[in-house]
Structure 1
Amino acid sequence: MQKTLSMGRGRVLILAWGVLAFATAHADVTPPHIRDAWARLRDNPKTYDQTDQFCRGKRLDAACELPGNALQGGGTGVCRSSVNDRGEIARSCIRTTRVEIDSDVPSGGFVASPALCKPYIDWVQRNDPSEPAPVLPFGCKPPAQPLTDRFCKGRAVGDVCAVEMRVDGKPEQYPGTCANKWQSERFYYMGSREALRQVMTCGSPPTFERQFSPASWLDKLWQ
């Protein structure tokens, strides 16, 4: 799935559970087999090489259903196609159920790799108050306090919790467990890169695992 998910303070809008792929990328960093697969998909939007169990035998944009409650990634969806990292066109059920969670997680706190942050790390180790901090086009300073959503405030990893959310505009609540999760934010600096932060959130694992199988000869005829 993966969009760069910037988890700022306020509402988090979850549009889909599963694989998110982008049809556009910087040509200098996109492998040829990925570009070729996207070109195939642009030329024939109906084509696909494999499909998950929820869209098996279904056409593009057909309705599908993911099991489990909204916190577990379940809900209604549609069959859409994207390109995976092996250059295969995969058709899968992408959730369209609109889920909004007011998590109240502070913004920021994403840290780039140690290699990129070496100037900042060296500055911290020198501990010279007369020397200004280096100005870098990405974050290197970790949060002063561990980050947590409002459902796990005052709790520890493994504690039970409950998430309040709106599902297609309707208020709902589901039980979960507090766990530390890594969140990512992508940025561009001499190539596409990723910054990370750890947040304790109330969640529940999905009730399903996607299982992909190749498109059959009959499926190929419909393409």
Structure 2
Amino acid sequence: DLEERQKEQEDLIQELSIVEKNELFREQEKQEDNLAKLRMNINNKFGFKKALKKLKFELEKETIHIPNINTFFLRDFLKNPINSLVNESRDLPKFSSLLVQLRHVLEKNKLNLKTEVKDKTIHQINAIFDEKTIQSDIDKIKELNNKINELKKQIEQAGLAINREDIKNKIATNTLKIERLENDLDRKNKDYMRYLSSIKNEREEFQKSVKKVLNEEVKLNITFSF
């Protein structure tokens, strides 16, 4: 039964591999990989998050007062920078305003950061304004999200998603059954070894008793029939 289950598992894994080689799945994986790389690239431009966290902390303590600062956007940005920008209006006015306010606070040294950290953060903010690539990066994020959603829709319509999920469920169920069978076999093997050890001990005692009575060496063989 264990061998049958293992063979069935191999067949299911092979079947899943064939399904996932479908062009739609491969394209989805490719676009999701592109999206992950782009998100990482954008996040790398946000080295000023440490200063923003310090700013948020000081604002909450009310040790710093900044007119018209959008604290809701500040909190959202710190939780998920990219999503907050994706949900921003064109040209990212809230983001731009926040950076200008942060730069002003840094230039006035109101966050009491080390000079090196402060200068580096100001440089990062200036680079964002100089390069002007964040909006185009966010546009690419939206474009990739749309592509992925469209691919998911096509996969769903083709019945591929249900088929893949069904195979995965079968693999998961079969895995549990295999584990139970393997555990059962392991338990039986341990029982067998304990039983064999017990018989060997009894044989040894019997052979000693015979030798004591008959003064002869007697050897008993242990044979199992299955």
Higher strand share: 1
Bigger radius of gyration among the two: 2
Higher helix share: 2
After TM superposition, the score normalised by the length of structure 2 is: 0.22
